[in-house]
Amino acid sequence: MERPKWFRAARTVVLLAAALLLCMPGVREYRLKAVSAGDAADGMMQDAPDSVTDGITSDAPDSMADGKRIALTFDDGPHPYCTEQLLDGLKERNAKATFFVLGQQAEQYPELIKRMSEEGHLIGNHTYSHLQLRQDNREKFKEELIKTNELLEQLTGQEIQYVRPPYGTWDKRFEKELNMFPVLWTIDPLDWSSSNVAGIVKKVEDQAKENAIILMHDEYDTTVTAALQIVDGLKEQGYEFVTVDELLFD
């Protein structure tokens, strides 16, 4: 059901306010840095690859969240095998997740995008080709966001408002230009670099707390196994797995 215009306007105001209120003690200190004085004035910011940045994180005011909630997020999919197995496991466990998908992958596997949407997961934009924003490719980056949004909206019938920029590079002007907002993370188990399922699970469980956002990648068998073990373990501790918008607005 399409939400009224007043709700969307209010949501935009709240998102911008949340971005200004962010403070993440104890999280890896990969903060955004201006590429140059000129870029800082223009709003373009850059950071280390795949790191925590000044976008929307789980440290929104407590009043914006209700209960012991946590968000599981996945980048770089959908993958024809791993994403399907992950969706099966999440459905069996009644757990919701957020998928930041690549446009080129969505184009190849549209049935998985439709399934994500139908089963209540949130879908976000991760650009079309995993393009990193640089000083000389802003328009191309913007075109990839728009192209991916159009594809995802055609497949799901829903407006796409959330983005996870590859390599942590973002230009805040896009928030007004495209009505899109960056969603980042507070827990990064580096699942892409390890085949040690137990190690991935331990990293997440050791850092888990209410309103945390977990970063994973749904293109590895080990990630699928670890993610489902994480769901099982944290559910036993009383956590509910929700989409990132629920952390902010419910």
Angstrom distance (rounded) from CA 190 to CA 49: 12
Asked if 62 is an active-site residue, the reply is no
Angstrom distance (rounded) from CA 128 to CA 144: 5
- Contact between 102 and 129 (Cβ < 8 Å): yes
Tell me, letter by letter, the H, E, C secondary structure of the chain.
CCCCHHHHHHHHHHHHHHHHCCCCCCCCCCCCEECCHHHHHHCEEECCCCCCCCCECCCCCHHHCCCCEEEEEEECCCCCCHHHHHHHHHHHHCCCCEEEECHHHHHHCHHHHHHHHHCCCEEEECCCCCCCCCCCCHHHHHHHHHHHHHHHHHHHCCCCCEECCHHHCEECHHHHHCCCEEECCCECCCHHHCCCHHHHHHHHHHHCCCCCEEEEECCCHHHHHHHHHHHHHHHHCCCEEECHHHHHHC
Catalytic residue (choose from 79, 121, 126, 217): 217
Asked if 217 is an active-site residue, the reply is yes
Catalytic residue (choose from 75, 76, 188, 191): 75
For the annotated catalytic residues, the residue numbers are 75, 217
